[in-house]
Amino acid sequence: MTTSTTSESSTSAPLLDLQALVVTVRRRRRLWCSMALLGLLAGAAMAVLLPPPPTAVTKVLVAHREDQPNDPGTLIRTDAALLQTTQIADEALRSLKSPEKPEDFMGEYSGIGLTNNLLQITVTGDSDAHAMARAKALADAFVADHVKRIQQAASAEAKALLDQRDRLRGELAKVNKTIGDGSSASGPNASADLESLFARRAELTSRISDFSQRAAEARIGTPQLIAGTQIVDAPRALPHSLPKSAATNAAIGLVLGLVLGLALAAVGAVVADRPVLRREIAANLGASVIAELPRRSGRLWQRRRIRAARERLTASLARTVRDSAEPLSLLELGCARSTSVIALNLGRALAAEGPVVVIDGLPGLQLAKRSPKPGDPTVVSGERAADVSDQERRLGVGSVAPGTAWTDLQYLGTRTVLVVRAGHGNAAWLHTVARQLADQRIPVIGVVLIDPDPRDRTDGTLWDGLHTALRGQNERPARQNGTGRRGTERLPMWAARVPDSDQEAR
């Protein structure tokens, strides 16, 4: 029954549980908050330690012969690309009498088209005055280069038109000579030839006049383009505000750090595969979550509810111990301190009914080395577990962390309650714990979840877990240590939830 249920749940489980991912990322808020704070500080420090160089800006109005109202900005982008050429950079450096290489200078300025005819040039320098001088030299070099290209284009066009006019004039001269030579001829054929020659002369004269007019217009349009290309905004230094720059860089660093932190938390959650939801922990351990406790004492207004939840858990565990003669153990995973507190509270509750001995199997013997207080039960180390008499009630406390000696867990108790910290162990290790406890024939009667997510609304109850536990107890042979057990006893079921928020405990 359990095997089929597990296989069905595993096959229907999504590849990526978004709810578990969100919960895990939220629980790792220290990571992404630290990354965001680090980005904030780094951005502010960069603004202070690496201030931007002095920068100057100027604007140039550029006139084109091919200007069209529907131009998508191709011409101005071409001008911005021409600005980033060694020819213009070399002319600017020559006017500045600077020994700098044009290739290096091109990396210190940029041009961008604001409109179809307005080019903005941004230049950096050693100082504001130096940057302004470089911007002025660069703008002058660009204007001179643009004017030169306009004049060259106009001259080439006018020369082509005039060459065509001169060719037509030569042809007109030949027509005029033919007309003069044929004027003395008579006859009908001669009259027809003269008439065609006169028509040809008129056509050539009209075309010559047209080419002369077009050449003149080509030259007339050039001064307008040259006058339209000029510096409309004189070079000026850009103001630099350290507080504004620091605030801007800090905001950018904050966003980048937050995004990076969230990404790292999400990737880490997927790679680590550490269950944090009740349903995941219950499914991986094969036992129901019977109680939830916060890891810390909580805020002032929460301490009363936390204290009440601890008392309910102690009373429930005490009833479980009284209903069976078999010793009970508390095995922790990532929460040794909380497990010690639960064990001491349970020992105090049972001490009123008879002698109680707590067997400390925790790493470092946290209970055995502490100073006893009035009302505390007797605590012995795991090596002295054999010295405990049968008349004393035994309560074992141990760990199922990596490196656990699994065969020693039987001496702590023949049944156990797992105290697990949410998000501490990965799914593979939780499976290992469940398998090892099953191999040792130690039934898990419940899981106490430490540090749960306060917004977790999933169900941590395995509805067939009780039957599995009862079947495992019935199949286990009786112990030979003189302590009997009731094979048909019914294990108690209970639930207690104490979130970190103001949610009502149930």
Terminal alpha carbon distance of the chain = 30
Query: Of 252, 270, 288, which residue is a domain's last?
Result: 270
Residue 487 confidence (pLDDT) above 50: no
Residue 470 confidence (pLDDT) above 50: no
Tokens of 327: 């010793």
Instruction: Tell whether 160 and 60 lie within a shared domain.
Output: yes
How crowded is residue 391: how many other Cβ atoms within 10 Å of its Cβ?
7
pLDDT of the residue at 234: 92
Q: What is the share, in percent, of the chain residues with pLDDT greater than 90? A: 32
Rounded CA gap, 101 and 30, in Å?
50
DSSP string, 418-445: EEEETTTS-HHHHHHHHHHHHHTT--EE
Instruction: Tell whether 284 and 301 lie within a shared domain.
Output: yes
Q: What are 50-107's pLDDT values in tens digits?
A: 888 999 999 999 988 877 777 788 899 999 999 999 999 999 999 999 999 999 999 9
How crowded is residue 371: how many other Cβ atoms within 10 Å of its Cβ?
5
Which whole-number Å values give the CA distances from 410 to 300, 305, 435, 462, in the listed order?
40, 34, 14, 24
Specify if 22 maps to a domain: no
Specify if 19 maps to a domain: no
Tokens of 258: 């937050």
Rounded CA gap, 340 and 149, in Å?
88
pLDDT of the residue at 8: 46
> Averaged over 461-474, what is the pLDDT?
49
Instruction: Tell whether 187 and 247 lie within a shared domain.
Output: no
Q: What is the CATH number of the domain that holds 80?
A: 3.30.1890
Query: Of 253, 270, 287, which residue is a domain's last?
Result: 270
Instruction: Tell whether 333 and 457 lie within a shared domain.
Output: yes
Specify if 401 maps to a domain: yes
Specify if 172 maps to a domain: yes
Specify if 3 maps to a domain: no
Rounded CA gap, 178 and 110, in Å?
64
pLDDT of the residue at 188: 64
Instruction: Tell whether 145 and 192 lie within a shared domain.
Output: yes
Rounded CA gap, 349 and 358, in Å?
12
Which whole-number Å values give the CA distances from 336 to 61, 295, 398, 420, 437, in the listed order?
76, 11, 8, 9, 19
pLDDT of the residue at 467: 44
The boundaries of the domain holding residue 81 are: 55-237
What are the residues facing 2 on neighbouring strands? Answer: none
Work out the burial of residue 453: count CB atoms within 10 Å of its CB; fewer than 13 is exposed, 13-18 middle, 19 or more buried. Answer: buried
Instruction: Tell whether 250 and 391 lie within a shared domain.
Output: no
Mean pLDDT in the chain?
A: 81
- Which of 150, 140, 141, 148 has its CA nearest to residue 64? 150
pLDDT of the residue at 5: 44
The residues, ordered by sequence, that sit 6+ positions from 181 with a Cβ below 8 Å of its Cβ are none
Rounded CA gap, 413 and 358, in Å?
11
The residues, ordered by sequence, that sit 6+ positions from 59 with a Cβ below 8 Å of its Cβ are 114, 118, 119, 120, 121, 231, 232, 233
pLDDT of the residue at 7: 43
How crowded is residue 161: how many other Cβ atoms within 10 Å of its Cβ?
20
Rounded CA gap, 283 and 402, in Å?
20
Q: Virtual CA dihedral for 135, 139, 141, 146, nearest 10 degrees?
A: 160
Rounded CA gap, 236 and 133, in Å?
10
- Structural domains in the chain (count): 3
Instruction: Tell whether 137 and 67 lie within a shared domain.
Output: yes
Instruction: Tell whether 69 and 169 lie within a shared domain.
Output: yes
CB 54 within 8 A of CB 245: no
pLDDT of the residue at 480: 40
Q: How confident is the model at residue 186 (pLDDT cuts 50, 70, 90)?
A: low
Q: What are 268-308's pLDDT values in tens digits?
A: 888 888 888 888 899 889 899 988 888 777 666 677 888 88
Q: Count CA within 13 A, CB hemisphere, residue 192.
A: 3
Specify if 18 maps to a domain: no
Instruction: Tell whether 197 and 345 lie within a shared domain.
Output: no
Residue 236 confidence (pLDDT) above 90: yes
Q: Which helix (H) or strand (E) holds 120?
A: strand 118-124
- Which of 292, 280, 311, 275 has its CA nearest to residue 504? 292
Instruction: Tell whether 264 and 178 lie within a shared domain.
Output: no
Q: What is the CATH number of the domain that holds 297?
A: 3.40.50.300
pLDDT of the residue at 376: 75
Specify if 471 maps to a domain: yes
Q: Report the SS3 class of residue 289.
A: strand
Residue 113's φ and ψ, nearest 5 degrees, are: -85, 120
Residue 11 confidence (pLDDT) above 50: no
Instruction: Tell whether 153 and 256 lie within a shared domain.
Output: no
Instruction: Tell whether 299 and 232 lie within a shared domain.
Output: no
